[in-house]
Amino acid sequence: MKNIVLFGAPGVGKGTHALLLAEKYDLDHFSTGEMLRQEVADGTPLGLRVKSLMDRGDLVGDDVVIGLIDKAITSTDKGIIFDGFPRTVQQAQALDFLLKRHQRRLDCVISIDAPREELVRRIHERAAVSNRSDDSDEATIRHRLEEYEEKTRPVVDYYKVSGLLVSIDGSGQINQTSMRLCKVVDQIIH
């Protein structure tokens, strides 16, 4: 039962690749962004509370996200691919605690990297086909990328120290990045 974090800036393709990897390797896919967007769409009290944060491109509080992840881990006996979590060092520490409590361990953190302007272009393209409010305008997109650099990039250092971090090039076509990811996951699984 392998547990993997897929990490990277907004627009790098975490969601796309997490779904592909989950299917190929029979892993459960836990996307905190999707979980939160579903709460908003369902109009739950949590969704109403976080909607304005998400619309501005701000990160949702650690307590909310950690609670969603704890509930998700409890719901499965399969390996997991975490998509969009952890986003802060505090969340990374909480994930370590949660996995240990559930008698699991993190096997690898894969950081997908791509140039900033490519990320902005991809988010604009995604906005044309999705209904995501956080993809809606240039200011929100730039703010999300700044939030990533300020609050999420330090998570890379956290995992670098643990020896779990593997970085791959996420620029180019989806199939190119997918091949790079599969090469890493094949080494972890086998």
Is 122 tagged catalytic?
A: no
Euclidean distance between CA atoms 97 and 45, whole angstroms? 27
The percent of the chain in helix, strand and coil, each rounded to the nearest 5, is: 65, 15, 25
Is 78 tagged catalytic?
A: no
Is 144 tagged catalytic?
A: yes
Q: Which amino acid is residue 56, in one-letter code?
A: R
Distances (CA, A) of 161 to 27, 66, 87, 187: 26, 22, 17, 20
Q: Catalytic pick from 2, 122, 144, 180?
A: 144
Is 101 tagged catalytic?
A: no
Q: Catalytic pick from 2, 37, 87, 122?
A: 87
Closest CA to 60 of 82, 96, 97, 35: 35
Is 37 tagged catalytic?
A: no
Determine contact, residues 51/23, Cβ cutoff 8 Å: no
Whether cis (ω within 30° of 0) applies to the bond prior to 115 is no
Helix axes 32-42, 62-74, angle to 10 degrees: 100
Q: Catalytic pick from 49, 104, 126, 142?
A: 126
Q: Catalytic pick from 14, 37, 122, 180?
A: 14
Q: Catalytic pick from 49, 51, 56, 132?
A: 132
Question: Which residues form the catalytic set?
Answer: 14, 87, 126, 132, 144
